[in-house]
Structure 1
Amino acid sequence: MLVSRGSRAAITMACAALLLATSACGSDKPEGATTTTQVRLYGSDGNMLNSFAAELKERADLVNGMKGTTPLTPLPESFTGRLRTVDPKLTDYLYSAETYDAVVVSALAAQLAGSTDAAAIAKQIVGVTTGGERCDGPAACLQLAAQGRDIEYRGVSLTRAGFTDAGEPATASYATLHFDDQKLDDGKTEFVGAGDESAASSKTPPRGKKQRRSATPLILGGLLPQTGDLAIANPPMAAGAALAVKEVNAAGGVLGKPVVWVDGDDGTNPDVAKATVASHIAKGVQVFIGAGASGISRAVLPDVVAAGRVLFSPSNTDAGLTTVDDKGLYFRTAPSDILQGRALADVILRDGPHKIAIVARKDSYGEGLQGNVRADLERAGIGADKVKLLTYEPPADADAAPVDFTAGAKEIKDFGPDAVLIIGFGESAHVITALADAGVQIQH
């Protein structure tokens, strides 16, 4: 179900009021009685995936009862079915729609620009999503673009509004997800709308050019997390990209030539990502689809910008990227964590916690979302003494030792929260096992 911004605010205020009232009324337990507080676990887009349970191996049952949010639009079966023709083993669809739309928007921008030059493509990207003739799907939109007509693409993730001037979605949809029996229970999933349609750009893009043929094809370079901490999210993104390229080419390609896809790994590691960027540049890639993690995009963006290419991420949510110095060459189909922070705070407040610990991986994504959630809890009336913030260093690469959260888990146990939010990727499974090993009673 979609909930309006006003309804969401009302829910938040009601939850906060209930929380404060409960705290003020005291307890009917006899003085001196002790109880063991059960802790409810919450997660975010980096770990609310079916594949996350496997990261806990034989202790996968620890995720049962965990809930959280992720940017996700209700996906039609027509889309997920087509994704499964690309990858029959798919169990998650996180960021598949955003990846699909990033590829399609890039193709439409090149067609309207009448060029595969990255700078010309960049100038059309925002305009492809706003203010023109409404169309959905590569075939219909490419046909209009080939006629030089201004279009307003509506795809799978871009359904309500287009991009802002900064090159990111003005609106978003979030799903509240629940783990049950070591997998996400689709029957409990709720969808909440966020953002403001009036924030979409009203600027007029350069005039589109009518059908012409290009001497060089549009070359897209994958910069997705095939390895590293975020590799659990790679399959749906890879499938989304492959499906988009397939359908764009089935519709005639771009400027008379098939779109070329060059595979590439960001490794959830700056060094791996930088090496991939250098390789892609040498192969003539004009648009990079990635990186997966916000911190990796921050690391490679200077290299991409220096080469005059476009970086278009389907999954970066760090709010700070909205104002990053990108020379107009960075875009994303994933919404800012300012929006996810509100959605996560709402989910936590509905359960009426008294004390909350927020654990985050120590990078721009983790600390950024942690700060946004904290700010929204504060606005709902949750005092600073009721919230504990902790971070952990994620492993440098796949060969590094796993996260050791032993000390942090003891701090949390001593703090005595009844809610713990864990913001991380696959490595955050070690935070959960550390909590259990420290004697924190996880509510299932």
Structure 2
Amino acid sequence: MFVSRASRAAISVACAALLLATSGCGSDKPEGATTSTQVRLYGTDGNMQNSYVAELKDRGDLVNGMKGTIPLTPLPESFKERLRTVDPGLKDYLYSAETYDAVVISSLAAQLAGSTDPRRIAEQIVGVTTNGQRCDDPATCLRLARNGQDIEYRGVSLNRAGFTDAGEPATASYATLHFDDEKIDDGKTEFVGAGDESGASTKAPPRAKRQRGDKVDKAAGAPLILGGLLPKTGDLALAYPPIAAGAALALKDVNSAGGVLGAPVTWIDGDDGTNPQIAKATVASHVAKGVHVIIGAAASGISRAVLPDVVAAGRVLFSPSNTDAGLTTVDDKGLYFRTAPPDSLQGRALADVILRDGPHKIAIVARKDSYGEGLQENVRAELERAGLGADRVKLLSYAPPANPKAPPVDFGDGARQIKDFGADAVLVIGFGESARVILALAEAGVQIRH
């Protein structure tokens, strides 16, 4: 169900007030019970997926009872079914819709620009989502764009409002997920909206160019070439299947509708490795092969690392999953976009989920990069706004492995600090590598509440 921001805010305030007197707001602890070493787990994004359980090896039971948020729109079953035609083994859908929309928006922008020149494509991207003829499928939108009609695309993830001037969603939807029996219990999933529709851009894009005839427009630079910069390997590889399926389905739909500028859109695979060096090498390869728009990277920190290279090459970087709020104001020369909402919005939703359980002390553990520490700070600020002082919130971080051959995360000392702190809630912000944090808690004797 959808819960309004006002309702969630009221819950947060009520919970904050009750913290001083009771363990209510969803807690089933009897009054006066001690929970000094009994911890409820919370997660987000990269660890709130069915595939995350495998990272815990034979201790998958540790996540039972864990809850958290991810950016997720209620997905139509028909969309999930179509994704499974691309990947029959698909178990998760995180960022599949955002990836689908990123590919479709890029294609529509090129069609409206009448060119594959990346800078001209970039000038159209925000306008694709605002102040035009409403359309919600690639075939209809492409038909309008070929006729030179300004459009307002509403897709699977982008269904409430368009992009802001900064090139990111003005509104977002978050899902609250629960692990039970070592898998996400879909029956417990709730959705909450965030953001403000008035934040969508009102600027008019350059006038659309009408396509003449159905032949390949070589003068316009056709075909449009998209390049993937996605986590085929690395700490975020567990998120690759739904992202890859979303890209493949969008490409299929665009090309089934006649492609862009009279030619099928070309896709060139590429790995970001959840690693700056691997991602930079992929970007260099894409530039050499004439890629116009790079779809990715998956992790915010990787996008930050490659963005200077992308900008220097005059290409577009369009991520379906970057959430670092700092990327809103990054110096991108107008060439960076994302369909995922910034963590300034998710921080509120995640803090609300935690507050509903009435915790007394909260530890927030984050991977040490722009995504992890950025979201950590957003959640901390929201908890403070709800009345939790610094003495009730403990911040810790860990350095993710530098490469696949590096030793795994050692969080033994951090786990002991959390136990000594007496936290009854631990939020873990990370990707697949964050499983080591949960294992370390168990090894330190912290009782994980299920």
With the shorter chain as reference, the TM-score category is over 0.9
For residues 384-441 of structure 1, what are the alpha-carbon distances to aligned partners after superposition, in whole Å with 9 as ceiling and x for unaligned?
1000000000001111100000000000000010000000000000000000000000
Residues 257-336 of structure 1: matches in 2 within 5 Å? 257-336=263-342
Residue 6 in 1 paired to residue 6 in 2? Answer: yes
CA RMSD after TM alignment: 1.3
Answering whether residue 259 of structure 2 is matched by residue 256 of structure 1, we say no
Cα distance in 2 for residues equivalent to 1:270 and 1:43 = 24
2:340 and 2:63 map into 1 onto residues whose CA distance is 25
Corresponding residue to 1:431 among 430, 437, 440 = 437
| 8 Å contact kept, 1:229–1:425 | yes
Residue 38 of structure 1: how far off its partner (Å): 1.4
Q: Secondary structure of the residue that 2:167 maps to in structure 1?
A: coil
Tell me the secondary structure at the aligned position of residue 267 of structure 2.
strand
Matched residues in 2 for 1:209 and 1:436: separation? 61
Query: Would the aligned equivalents of 2:164 and 2:201 in 1 still touch at CA under 8 Å?
Result: yes
Aligned to 1:75: 75
Q: SS at the partner of 2:6?
A: helix
Deviations 1:161-190 (A, max 9, x none): 000000000000000000001100000000
Question: Alignment partner of 1:360: what SS?
Answer: strand
What is the one-letter code of the residue matched to 1:225? P
Q: Report if aligned partners of 1:36, 1:441 keep a CA contact under 8 Å in 2.
A: no
After TM superposition, list the pairs within 5 Å mapping 1:29-40 onto structure 2: 37-40=37-40
Tell me which residue corresponds to 1:97: 97
User: What are the within-5 Å matches in structure 2 for residues 334-373 of structure 1?
Assistant: 334-373=340-379
Deviations 1:70-108 (A, max 9, x none): 000000011010000000000000000000000000000
User: What TM-score comes out, normalization by structure 1 length?
Assistant: 0.97
- Which range is displaced more, 13-22 or 53-62? 13-22
Following the alignment from structure 2 to structure 1, what is the Cα–Cα distance between the partners of residues 37 and 235?
31
Q: Which runs of 5+ in 1 are unaligned?
A: none
One-letter amino acid matched to 1:292? A
- Give the aligned partner of residue 148 of structure 1: 148
Does the aligned pair in 1 maintain the 2:36–2:422 contact within 8 Å? no
Distance 1:120 1:414, change over 3 A: same
CA deviation map 1:37-62 (0-9, x unaligned): 31000001111000000000101110
Work out whether 1:176 is the aligned partner of 2:184: no
Distance 1:46 1:54 in 2: 13
Comparing 143-152 with 209-218, greater Cα deviation is found at 209-218
Aligned residues: 439
**Structure 2 CA distance for aligned equivalents of residues 75 and 155 of structure 1:** 11
Separation of aligned partners in 2, 1:28 and 1:209: 68
Deviation, structure 1 residue 21: 3.0
Q: 1:379 to 1:262 in 2, by over 3 A?
A: same
- Spell out structure 1 runs of 4+ moving beyond 3 A: 33-37
Distance in 1, Cα, partners of 2:346 & 2:314: 31
Where do 5+ consecutive residues of structure 2 fail to align?
A: 25-29
1:17 to partner: Cα distance: 1.5
SS at match of 1:22: coil
- The answer to whether the aligner puts 1:19 opposite 2:25 as a matched pair is no
CA distance in 1 between partners of 2:31 and 2:280 (Å): 59
SS of the aligned residue for 1:88 comes to coil
Query: What is the distance in 2 between the residues matched to 1:376 and 1:257?
Result: 48
Query: What is the TM-score normalised by the length of structure 2?
Result: 0.96
Confirm or deny: 8 A CA contact 2:23 2:358 kept in the other structure.
Answer: no
The 5-angstrom pairing of residues 357-436 of structure 1 reads 357-436=363-442
Aligned-pair distance for 1:295? Answer: 0.2
Q: CA deviation at 1:23?
A: 7.6
1: distance between equivalents of 2:46 and 2:122?
Answer: 28
User: Percent identity over the alignment?
Assistant: 81
The 2-side partners of 1:265 and 1:411 are apart by 36
Letter in 1 for 2:274: T
Tell me the residue number matched to 1:61.
Answer: 61
- Between the aligned partners of 2:150 and 2:361, the Cα distance in structure 1 is 52
Q: 1:19, CA displacement in angstroms?
A: 1.5
Question: Is 2:225–2:292's contact at 8 Å kept on the other side of the alignment?
Answer: yes
2:284 aligned partner, one-letter code: A
Secondary structure at 2:70's aligned position in 1? strand
Q: Is the 8 A contact 2:36 2:424 kept in 1?
A: no
Counterparts of 1:397 and 1:68, CA distance in 2: 27
- 1:304-328 deviation line (CA, Å, top 9, x unaligned): 0000000000000000000000000
Q: Do the aligned partners of 1:8 and 1:346 also contact (CA within 8 Å) in 2?
A: yes
Partner of 2:27: none
Counterparts of 1:314 and 1:34, CA distance in 2: 43
Residue of structure 1 equivalent to 2:109? 109
